[in-house]
Amino acid sequence: MKKLIIALLLVATTATYAQETKAVGDFTEVKVFDRMRVNLIKSLENKVILKGKDTEDIELVNKDGVLKIRMDIDKIFDGNETFVEVHYNNLRVIDGNEGAEIVVNELIEQPKIEIRVQEGAQVKAGLEVENAEMRAVTGGIINASGTAKNQNVEVNTGGIYEGKSLETTDTYLRIQAGGEADIFARRTAEVKIRAGGDVHVYGNPTELIKDKFIGGRVTVMK
């Protein structure tokens, strides 16, 4: 009897924590919601591998090349025990929402990348690009490292940009309504602050342009 109970428990656990591979077609943008944890993996084919709890409740929708990953409406904001591997061959935009956690497992090497976070979501990525577009708002956090020739950063309403390890030639930063940003620039750093914000500038840029209105602080780190 005891062996039967253990066997049934093992079956139930396996059913609860399943793994499933999904074909999702071609996409160039990933949007993640509902506190889900996602690893982005460079691959020859586009596919999604689902792991963990309640994988049957994950919704994958690819519309016009935008892949949206979220929980079923009955499980909204309950994706923290579910893990997703997104295998991609061409990715232009990474978009985190609603507390999602996204990690890029390998260095992104391409001409341009855009990363957006909001609503407490987090993205961690290593880059080797010509141009980087970053946007962190409403408590979202971007952690970027590597190299970029140019970057444009927007931080708003409590967003955080951790970019001191992303070495750039030129950086343009706009921060407003609070928020924090660490940037690295060798030639030009242009910083605009509106209604508060805290900025740390690394890289000892040749030219530092500061434009502040109603508070805010810019600190050059030696």
Confidence at residue 105, expressed as pLDDT on a 0 to 100 scale: 92
Confidence at residue 15, expressed as pLDDT on a 0 to 100 scale: 45
CB 155 within 8 A of CB 161: yes
- Going by C-alpha positions, the residue among 164, 177, 172 that lies closest to residue 204 is 164
Confidence at residue 17, expressed as pLDDT on a 0 to 100 scale: 60
Q: Which residues of the chain, if any, have pLDDT below 50?
A: 2-15
- According to DSSP, residue 215 is labeled S
Confidence at residue 140, expressed as pLDDT on a 0 to 100 scale: 98
Confidence at residue 1, expressed as pLDDT on a 0 to 100 scale: 53
Confidence at residue 6, expressed as pLDDT on a 0 to 100 scale: 46
Confidence at residue 130, expressed as pLDDT on a 0 to 100 scale: 99
Confidence at residue 55, expressed as pLDDT on a 0 to 100 scale: 87
Taking the domain 107-222, which CATH number applies? 2.160.20.120
Confidence at residue 73, expressed as pLDDT on a 0 to 100 scale: 76
Distance between CA 184 and CA 149 in Å, rounded?
11
CA atoms within 13 A on the CB side of 79: 30
- Going by C-alpha positions, the residue among 194, 190, 139, 136 that lies closest to residue 163 is 136
The domain limits of the chain are: 28-100, 107-222
Distance between CA 112 and CA 65 in Å, rounded?
17
Confidence at residue 72, expressed as pLDDT on a 0 to 100 scale: 83
Confidence at residue 8, expressed as pLDDT on a 0 to 100 scale: 42
Supply the pTM of this predicted model.
0.90
Confidence at residue 5, expressed as pLDDT on a 0 to 100 scale: 45
Confidence at residue 102, expressed as pLDDT on a 0 to 100 scale: 98
Q: How many helices (H) and strands (E) does the chain have?
A: 1, 17
